[in-house]
Amino acid sequence: MKQIEHSSLSKPIYNSLKTMILEKELKPGEKLVQEKLAAQLGVSRTPLMQALQMLENELLVESVPRRGMFVRNFSVDEMIDIYYCRESIECMAVRLVTLRADQKDIKALHQLFQPFLDIEGAIDAEKYQKVDEKFHNMLVKLSQNPVLKKMSKMSQILTLVHSLGLLRPPEETLMEHLQIIEAMENGNFQQAELRMKNHIKLSMELLQKIRKEKTK
């Protein structure tokens, strides 16, 4: 018999705060005053702090001792750092999926992009971004490696990067995604890894160009 898990308050608080941050209801750099937030959410500071600590671990929030918690504000340099991490994690994910997942699951990955295949005209960027995110999450999940999954949570901040409109045009990345999936279907994990590596590299180059422009 499976135990029912009586979850604590911190989890829903965490979820609320997370969406508030991702949707910019809580703005980058903003100070998170505990009592204020707790009152807003109708809870006490104890579970609120737990939720904030979780967010700190995912790098969405920063704690400065005795000063408070702040919504994190990413520099281009930090975003590049995160991209390097993402590269290492997602390449490994792709490899594990190729080796461990069955064809049905890989087909499901393919299905995600189906809505964008046989259409004429431009792709709805917002819809595409959601699917892109789903793709990366599903990949990590299908790798069947819980530790890898936990690590990948840290690079969830990239959702923020993307919502800044800093991503490449869907027309460009769609094909890359499909080619990665194709290699996985063929069981060619080396090719799949290489393609993923390249896919991320191309996105990272965009950031590096931005950095160069800033230092000019």
Partner DNA sequence: TATTTGTATATTGTATACAAAATGCAAAAG
Partner DNA sequence: CTTTTGCATTTTGTATACAATATACAAATA
Q: How far is the CB of 11 from DNA (least distance, A)?
A: 8
Tally Cβ neighbours within 10 Å of residue 16: 16
Distances (CA, A) of 17 to 28, 50, 74: 13, 12, 18
- The residue within the footprint of a copy of itself, chosen from 112, 148, 174, 207 (CB under 8 A), is 148
- The residue within the footprint of DNA, chosen from 2, 66, 104, 216 (CB under 7 A), is 66
Judged by CB under 7 A, the number of residues near DNA is: 23
Task: Give 64's strand partners.
Answer: 68
- The residue within the footprint of DNA, chosen from 25, 27, 57, 68 (CB under 7 A), is 68
**What region, left, alpha or beta, does residue 24 occupy, with left being phi > 0 and alpha being psi -120 to 50 degrees?**
left
Within residues 170-209, the interface with a copy of itself by CB under 8 A covers none
Confirm or reject binding of residue 65 to DNA (CB under 7 A).
yes
Distances (CA, A) of 171 to 111, 129, 175, 193: 17, 12, 7, 21
Q: How far is the CB of 136 from a copy of itself (least distance, A)?
A: 15
What is the Cα–Cα distance from 168 to 173, expressed in whole angstroms?
Answer: 7
Binding site for a copy of itself (CB under 8 A): 5-8, 46, 49-50, 53-54, 57, 59, 65-66, 78, 81-82, 84-85, 87-89, 91-92, 96, 145-148, 150-151, 154-155
